[in-house]
Copies of this chain bind each other. A is one copy, B any other.
Amino acid sequence: MRFTSEQHLSGDVIERRFTLGDIPGILWMPAAATAAAPVPLILMGHPGGLNGMYPRLEARARSAADQGFAAVTIELPGGGERPPLAAAEQARADLHRALAAGEPVDEVVDRLVLPLVEAAVPEWQRTLDAVLSLPEVGGPVGLSGGVIGIGIRLAAVEPRIAAAGLFAGSYVPRSMFEEARRITIPLHVLLQWDDEGNDRQLALDLFDAFGSAEKTLQANMGGHRGVPAHAGEDAARFFARHLRPSSTPE
């Protein structure tokens, strides 16, 4: 992990850009985090394209920092400036075509999501190794948003993740439901009820499949980008409950 820039943002948040091998990433930290008082960490997912996503990621990182949490994100395989994944581009085009034609999408979703999951999860795990080795970052670790297939795999294989807030806003291969059943950490799942590029019934089936004893589904009106502010606040309180276990729930 090589830091390439450091900026002190307003609100006492330190933003540090880094590269991990050839993967660009951003780490945000409350200025108050020290080796003597290390902070919990949130892995912040997104749909790819760090530059375009930056304003929303920065807002989420500020909200995390307000709660005393560090937050980290990395570029997706094939996203932003990274070399494109030709097969994924093709699968994305095929998915749009199949959806427009009302055809079954299972095979296309497998082709689109599974290789992305395979490539992304080890990168997130290396990021976790690197960030947890910083003296100012302790844990526990939460996982927030992004491509939900990546979140499911990460939550299923990575025991350092203590709680996950997932956005049921993209397709999940049916073959991943078995992994969803193995997840037992507390989950907070957001669903946009009228998400134009998503399958509501698939999302409900997925929520049902998760093995967690504590799981909440919060569905709000509107399309993919229409998550209301109060839903973000409820998700923040979910992390406050689970990453600051000694505190009184807000």
Contact = CB atoms under 8 A, between A and B. Distances in A.
Interface of A: 193, 204, 207-208, 212-221, 228-231, 233-234, 237-238, 241, 249-250
B230 A221 contact: no
Nearest 6 A-B pairs (CB), nearest first?
A: A217-B219, A218-B218, A216-B220, A215-B221, A234-B234, A230-B249
Contacts of A250: 233
B204 A213 contact: no
Contact of A218 (B204, B214, B216): B216
Given A216-B219, A234-B234, 5 more contacts: A193-B208, A213-B221, A214-B221, A216-B220, A219-B219
B214 A228 contact: yes
Contacts of A208: 193
Nearest to A222: B213
Copies of this protein, total: 2
A243 to B, nearest CB: 14
Contacts of A204: 204
14 contacts: A193-B217, A207-B219, A212-B221, A214-B221, A214-B228, A215-B220, A216-B218, A216-B220, A217-B217, A217-B219, A219-B219, A230-B241, A230-B249, A234-B234
A123 to B, nearest CB: 32
Contacts of A213: 221
A249 to B, nearest CB: 6
Contacts of A229: 249
Contacts of A215: 193, 220-221
Nearest to A231: B216
A219 to B, nearest CB: 4
Which of A213, A215, A228, A234 has most chain B Cβ within 10 Å?
A234
A84 B212 CA distance: 42
A128 to B, nearest CB: 27
A207 to B, nearest CB: 7
Nearest to A241: B230
A208 B191 CA distance: 13
| Most chain B CB inside 10 Å of its own CB: which residue of A230, A238, A249, A250 | A230
Contacts of A234: 234, 237
Nearest to A219: B217
Contacts of A217: 193, 217-220
A229 B249 CA distance: 9
